Amino acid sequence: MCGIVGYIGNKQAVNVICDGLEKLEYRGYDSAGVAVVNGDSKVNWAKKQGRLSGLEAVLEQSPIEGTVGIGHTRWATHGAPSDINSHPHLNMSETIAVVHNGIIENYMEIRERLTAEGYVFKSETDTEVAVHLIDKYYEGDLLQAVYKAVAEFRGAYALGVVSSNHPGELVAVRKESPLIVGVGEGEYFIASDVPAILKYTRNVYYLENDEVVYVKDGKIQILDAEQNVVDKELKVVEWDIEAASKGGYDHFMMKEIYDQPQAIRDTLLRRLDENRMIRLDDIKLTKEDLDGIQKMYIVACGTAYHAGLVGKYAIEKLAKVPVEVDIASEFRYSDPFIDEHTLLIVVSQSGETADTLAAMKLAKSKGARVLAITNVVGSSVAREAHDVFYTWAGPEVAVASTKAYTAQMIAFYMIALDFAFKKGTITLERYHELVNNIEALAPLVEEILADKAQIEKMAEDMKDAQNAFYLGRGVDFTTAREAALKLKEISYIYTEAFAAGELKHGPIALIDQGTPVLSIVTQDALQEKMISNIKEVKARGAFVIAIAKKGDTEIAKVADDLFYIPEAEDLLMPVLAVIPTQLISYYVSIARGNDVDKPRNLAKSVTVE
């Protein structure tokens, strides 16, 4: 998950690196560090546990000069957050420095071997074996030492390497962990994600697995695992740094909540032709292909998994195809039935989620076709998939996903419509009706956001709760699951979602006097059942907050508090119902004094399994 930034050029490296790390702090904020080479006999370095601001304070007191360097912001995997476990890690003579994102799975056996050879380890991390192994193989050629070292690694990693013995060189390696290269005027950058370098350049190389970046004396080479030069296309990033800034909001999360109407419009309208037909240019599935598919899986993690549950509902309802949804980290171990008649749909905001990538590889090895839904052009899932749907949500920086989730749901509605029309399971009239109704969601979301003051009051009433529960039936249960995840991950209130009909089978034992129970009631056919479930929890002392369609007077009779959302057809209600739950999570977190954008123990892009 960690963030890497590297620089070689004519600017002060520390300034460029710290500026880039600030843009990547969503990837990890347990600690931060830099290493710079400037002609001295040793690498100059500084690292500090905690947020980037702590490192910057150290550097202000003791500046480090030089035009070649690497930096890192950490999300702990091996070893607790501490100064010692922070990156960069150095060899014993402090002539080589390494930063690392990912996990070296066989680090213990390498560590034991190196320890027996006299190497002394200071940290608990897997990364330190990398720098000592590079040192072991170093015989005057830094690039060759890196190649020999990584040949022994198993796992996922992105590495940045510098050496005081080679002040004009920068080496970087990508293996299953994101890394891009920025190209400026006489300068080069490496980074885990594009926002880190947009201030300086929008010209980018997207690295593939096993590719090595080698910059020496102002020239760059990209090499493959056999050290052959790779002829890569230089891409231009279309969005600029303003798209990744707060835009006047107090937090990225609130900005991104307000970005959702535009994300809906962009994801849909960019793909409508003059006849208002959906054109999925990066999805080549024909009617014949769809007729040959006997099984569909949707695989994802976290919030993307919840979007997949909505996708299952939409595809089954419209295209009349049975769909299974699985958590990516469990999928490979469930011995799934996959063959050439299988379509695997993977969902990942970053496009770099390690478990999702592993599921893709398994499916492809068995002959399945893979369709990826992602927000990041050039990401690993986009490159590995046969078909791609890009959600045009723009960069999402807050750890808690909001607009990416909404865009993923829109993507699924569009894919379901495309499949259904090709298979002939809906009429052209119904097709256009749904397209119009999806487009109409954007102003309805804006209408909800205009009433956020009421939600802020609800959140104030909930801030001291020890636990809370969400209830829903049908697709509302999916929204409840996403809402519970959002509340627990940024407010730290233990929150669980239950299918409302399951309450009496055990969970109702958890309801106590004053327990907040948030009930999502948007499905007309299930409204009466939900009212019964609300009465059940109220009889046990729960304080019920309901989220329901405007005009639902029956819910008003049983709920203690109520937030109305605009009416849309049941199929599309998850897009509207989730908005107030995002705002509730945000305001409860603020009321409890938490860091909304950087919740404890979490990071944005989960690139480790």
Task: Judge whether 606 lies within some domain.
Answer: no
Domain boundary among 211, 244, 277: 244
Q: Are 359 and 346 in contact (CB under 8 A)?
A: yes
Distance CA(409)–CA(572), nearest Å, equals: 9
Considering only residues 510 and 414, tell me which one the structure prediction assigns the higher pLDDT: 414
Same domain, 294 and 178: no
Task: Judge whether 103 lies within some domain.
Answer: yes
Task: Judge whether 46 lies within some domain.
Answer: yes
pLDDT at 184: 95
Q: Is the pLDDT of residue 609 over 90?
A: no
Would you place residue 26 in the very low, low, confident or very high pLDDT band (cuts 50, 70, 90)?
Answer: low
| Average pLDDT along the chain | 91
Distance CA(89)–CA(199), nearest Å, equals: 27
Helical spans, DSSP H, in 233-379 = 252-258, 260-269, 287-291, 302-319, 328-331, 354-365
pLDDT at 539: 82
- The number of domains in the chain is 3
Q: Is the pLDDT of residue 245 over 90?
A: no
**Closest C-alpha among 295, 281, 283, 404 to residue 350:** 404
Question: 């959906």: which residue's tokens?
Answer: 278
Same domain, 232 and 298: no
Of how many residues is the chain composed?
609
Same domain, 168 and 290: no
Same domain, 371 and 453: no
Helix (H, G, I), strand (E, B) or coil at 41: coil
Backbone angles phi, psi at 34, to 5 degrees: -135, 155
171's tokens: 């080496």
The C-alpha R_g of the chain, in whole angstroms, comes to 25
Q: What is the mean pLDDT of residues 177-200?
A: 91
Question: In what order do the strands lie in the sheet containing 155-163?
Answer: 89-90, 96-104, 155-163, 169-175, 211-216, 219-223
Would you place residue 351 in the very low, low, confident or very high pLDDT band (cuts 50, 70, 90)?
Answer: confident
Question: 């171990």: which residue's tokens?
Answer: 333
**Closest C-alpha among 116, 87, 109 to residue 100:** 87
Task: Judge whether 354 lies within some domain.
Answer: yes
46's tokens: 């500084």
pLDDT at 603: 56
pLDDT at 606: 52
Q: Are 234 and 201 in contact (CB under 8 A)?
A: no
Q: Calculate the CA 186 to chain-centre distance.
A: 32
Same domain, 207 and 85: yes
Per-residue pLDDT reduced to its tens digit, 362-398: 989 999 999 999 988 778 888 899 999 999 887 788 8
Helical spans, DSSP H, in 117-212 = 127-137, 142-150
Helix (H, G, I), strand (E, B) or coil at 525: helix
Q: Are 494 and 526 in contact (CB under 8 A)?
A: no
End-to-end CA distance of the chain: 10
Q: Are 12 and 68 in contact (CB under 8 A)?
A: no
Same domain, 235 and 292: no
Domain boundary among 244, 279, 308: 244
Q: What is the mean pLDDT of residues 26-48?
A: 88
Task: Judge whether 598 lies within some domain.
Answer: no
Distance CA(167)–CA(160), nearest Å, equals: 14
Same domain, 303 and 238: no
Per-residue pLDDT reduced to its tens digit, 400-448: 999 999 999 999 999 999 999 999 999 999 999 999 999 999 999 999 9
pTM: 0.72
Q: By percentage, how much of the chain surpasses pLDDT 70?
A: 96
Q: Is the pLDDT of residue 607 over 50?
A: no
Per-residue pLDDT reduced to its tens digit, 298-317: 999 999 999 999 999 999 99
Task: Judge whether 599 lies within some domain.
Answer: no
Helical spans, DSSP H, in 440-521 = 441-449, 452-462, 475-491
Q: Is the pLDDT of residue 602 over 80?
A: no
Give residue 98's region: left, alpha or beta (phi > 0; psi -120 to 50). beta
Same domain, 212 and 318: no
Same domain, 385 and 513: no
Distance CA(281)–CA(376), nearest Å, equals: 16
Distance CA(220)–CA(157), nearest Å, equals: 21
Task: Judge whether 309 lies within some domain.
Answer: yes
Helical pair 452-462 and 573-591, crossing angle rounded to 10 deg: 50
Task: Sort strands 387-390 and 369-374 into parallel, antiparallel or unpaired.
Answer: parallel
Same domain, 420 and 463: no
Give residue 240's region: left, alpha or beta (phi > 0; psi -120 to 50). beta
pLDDT at 452: 87
Distance CA(233)–CA(215), nearest Å, equals: 17
Domain boundary among 209, 244, 279: 244
Q: 197: part of which helix (H) or strand (E)? A: none
Question: How many beta carbons lie within 10 A of that of residue 453, not counting itself?
Answer: 8
23's tokens: 């843009």
DSSP string, 409-459: HHHHHHHHHHHHHHHT-S-HHHHHHHHHHHHTHHHHHHHHHTTHHHHHHHH
Same domain, 292 and 179: no
Q: Provide the CATH number for the domain around residue 476.
A: 3.40.50.10490
Same domain, 348 and 239: no
Active site residues: 2, 604
Distance CA(345)–CA(360), nearest Å, equals: 9
**Closest C-alpha among 173, 168, 250, 244 to residue 207:** 173
pLDDT at 22: 87
Q: Is the pLDDT of residue 236 over 80?
A: yes
Q: What is the mean pLDDT of residues 110-135?
A: 95
Instruction: Mention every residue, 6+ apart, whose C-beta is less than 8 A from residue 69.
Output: 6, 7, 13, 14, 17, 34, 35, 36, 37, 162
Per-residue pLDDT reduced to its tens digit, 60-116: 999 999 999 999 988 667 777 788 888 999 999 999 999 998 888 898 999 999 999
Distance CA(133)–CA(148), nearest Å, equals: 8
CA distances from 350 to 38, 119, 395, 411, 513 (A): 35, 37, 9, 15, 41
Q: Provide the CATH number for the domain around residue 228.
A: 3.60.20.10
Considering only residues 247 and 584, tell me which one the structure prediction assigns the higher pLDDT: 584
Task: Judge whether 603 lies within some domain.
Answer: no
Residue 174 structural domain:
3-244
pLDDT at 608: 44
Helix (H, G, I), strand (E, B) or coil at 135: helix
**Closest C-alpha among 104, 131, 100, 134 to residue 6:** 100
pLDDT at 604: 53
Helix (H, G, I), strand (E, B) or coil at 355: helix
66: amino acid identity, one letter: G
Q: Is the pLDDT of residue 542 over 90?
A: no
Q: What is the mean pLDDT of residues 228-244?
A: 80
